[in-house]
Amino acid sequence: MSRVPAVPTQQVSNDRAIVTEWRFAPGSETGWHIHAHDYIVVPQTDGELLLETRTGDRESTLRAGQSYAGLKGVEHNVVNRTDREIVFVEIEIR
């Protein structure tokens, strides 16, 4: 299945952090990637995302303003299977 890419907009990049806004149109994805840094996700909208992983898929529920953290080395593809846009800000810690 071919999906459109989610849209990343880098807001900050310095020697300590990378801050990127991610916008997921319905049906869009990040593409498979491995996180090079520990990171914090700050949802701007509520929504459900599909996390495709090598060990199986799972759903992730986002709530606007309810942040969560992830670790360096996480490998996944993030997919918006809903019919509305989902937005979050990702802060990577160098």
- What pTM did the predictor assign? 0.95
Summarize pLDDT for 57-78 with one digit per residue, the tens. Answer: 999 999 999 999 999 999 999 9
Q: Beta strands of the chain (E only): which ranges? A: 7-13, 17-24, 33-34, 38-43, 47-52, 58-62, 68-70, 75-79, 86-93
Per-position b or e across 45-82, b if 16+ CB within 10 A of its CB: eebebbeeeeeeeeeeebeeeeeeeeeeeeebbbbbbe
The predicted structure's pLDDT at residue 2: 78
Summarize pLDDT for 5-58 with one digit per residue, the tens. Answer: 999 999 999 999 999 999 999 999 999 999 999 999 999 999 999 999 999 999
Pairing of strands 68-70, 38-43: antiparallel
The confidence band for 86, taking pLDDT boundaries of 50, 70 and 90, is very high
For residue 79, give both structure tokens: 């997919």
The predicted structure's pLDDT at residue 70: 96
Distance (Å, rounded) from C-alpha 58 to C-alpha 77? 11
The confidence band for 87, taking pLDDT boundaries of 50, 70 and 90, is very high
